Amino acid sequence: MAANEWRQAEVVSQTEPLMPGHKAFIRITSQRDRATPLTRLFMASTLLLPQQALDVKGAHWQIENGLHWMLDVHLGRGP
């Protein structure tokens, strides 16, 4: 995470699932530099602690970025 960036997660358990397996909503708010904060909402099948939600989301993006790097390098899709 960059020096001028922050993230905050909130996890709310659901007593009435919207679909089978739905356990919680996760709201992640982040801000980079002086940009307007960005809020994203997720449905979760597991009730996580806020730090766990941030860790899972970060791990997802590491995988996503790694896959794009592979495509760019090996298939010549870079700039």
Number of separate domains in the chain: 1
| pLDDT range class, residue 32, cuts 50, 70, 90 | confident
For a pLDDT cut of 90, what percent of the chain falls above it?
A: 48
43-59 pLDDT per residue, tens: 999 999 999 999 886 55
Which tokens in the block code for residue 26? 């996760």
Provide the domain limits for residue 27: 5-75
Cβ-in-10-Å burial (0-12, 13-18, 19+) of 53 comes to: buried
